[in-house]
Structures are given as structure tokens and as C-alpha cells.
Amino acid sequence: MVKDTSLSKRQLVEVLHTAKTNREKNRAAKLLKKFDPQPHFEYDEEATKQNIRLKKSDRLLHYMCYRCDRVRQCLAKGSFTTSKGVKTICPGCYNNLLSQAEVSQLRAHHQKLGLTPKVL
């Protein structure tokens, strides 16, 4: 159980993943919210509709979003397959990646048709 606030962020994430009860998960999530997020946007160019998925659940899920680096407690969990493996993302990041993938696909299609100039 998480009572000591001197735990590092990595230790709290481990507690969040291994906790069995909701009380332990809630305490770990509350302590993780005190840390500043360090987002990881370096794999956004790899996003396509085929390698991002959103899975809905009937119970509350507790996890750390890889992309925005925030603790999430919600009924849905996304997965993003990158060149470095599968990363867990939140529904907000899922929607952002999905819209970015659609925009890049449309941009490529319009450039192919000659409707927009190619950006160097």
C-alpha cells in the first residue's frame, strides 16, 4: 500500500501496475499526479489507423499514458504500436493520433492529385 510519499515516479508506476485493490491504485494515482508530465511525441509520425486501437472496458482502468505521461483512470485504454513496441495511450491521445493520421493521409492524397504544393 502506498503511504510513503518519498517514492520515485518509476516506483509509483510499478505500484499502480501491481496493485490489487482500488484503494492502492487510487493512492498511487493521487501521488503520481504530483509529478510533472514529460510527454513523448517522438513516435507521432508512425501513427496510422492500423496501429492505434481503443479498447473500452466495463470497469475502471488505472494506467499511465505513454504519450502525455499522465496517470489516467477511465473506462477506455488505447494501444499504439510503434517501432519500439506497443505503448499504452489514453483516449485523448488516441483521438489526437487518429486525427493526425487522417490529416497526413489526406495531405498525401491531395499532393498526389496536385491540389496542394509539396512542402519541403
Domain regions of the chain by residue span:
1-35, 37-120
Long-range Cβ pairs for the range 82-85 (8 Å, 24+): 82/43, 82/46, 82/51, 83/43, 83/46, 84/43
| pLDDT of 118 | 76
- Residue 68 has what pLDDT? 96
Three-state DSSP state, 81: strand
**pLDDT tens per residue across all 120 residues of the chain:** 455 567 899 999 999 999 999 999 999 999 999 999 999 999 999 999 999 999 999 999 999 999 999 999 999 999 999 999 999 999 999 999 999 999 999 999 999 998 888 776
pLDDT number for residue 7: 87
Predicted pLDDT of residue 53 = 96
Distance of CA 13 to the CA centre of its chain: 14
